[in-house]
Amino acid sequence: MAQAPLWGLGRTIALEAPGMWGGLLDLPSARRGAGPWAASALAAELLGPDGEDQIAVRDGKRYVARLGRLVLDESSPAPRRRHGESTYLVSGGLGMLGQRVARWLAESLGIRSLVLTGRGEPSEEA
């Protein structure tokens, strides 16, 4: 959790200045129990890149960012309820994906109050 702002900064650099982007490699600190494998993990990532650009190493195991399908069963927590009187914020809502999310919220879930924000000027479609 403490490194989340740095990961966010790194991802922003990747998007805003791709020529400067090299990647993110998150190794545990010595206080967090980094073993002798930490140096070898660092060397392996630097000397043998495989195309992954966001990597975390914990307890000698390598983790990379992946999205997967979530399957819910009876033991899963109940989904959050939508509040009819609430206003929902769609960050990045002026872009193509944000507009699709906003449309889905309105049409599929019946959300009536949306605020769309973005970094740039809204397009005519937005």
pLDDT band at 54 (very low <50, low <70, confident <90, very high): confident
- Answer yes or no: is 57 within a domain: yes
- Answer yes or no: is 72 within a domain: no
**Is 15 found in the same domain as 48?**
yes
Taking CA atoms, 23 is separated from 51, 61, 72, 91, 97, in Å, by 10, 18, 33, 25, 25
Q: What does the alpha-carbon distance between residue 37 and residue 19 come to, in Å, rounded to a whole number?
A: 31
Mean local confidence (pLDDT), 19-29: 82
Which of 20-24, 80-84, 91-95, 108-112 has the lowest average pLDDT? Answer: 80-84
pLDDT of residue 65: 82
**Contact indicator for 57, 41 with CB cutoff of 8 Å:** yes
Identify the domain containing residue 27 by its residue range: 4-64
- Answer yes or no: is 76 within a domain: no
pLDDT of residue 33: 59
- Answer yes or no: is 13 within a domain: yes
Nearest to 24 by CA among 61, 58, 52: 52
**Is 88 found in the same domain as 60?**
no
**Is 9 found in the same domain as 52?**
yes
CB atoms within 10 A of CB 57: 20
Q: What is the pLDDT of residues 94-120, one digit of tens each?
A: 888 899 999 999 898 888 899 999 988
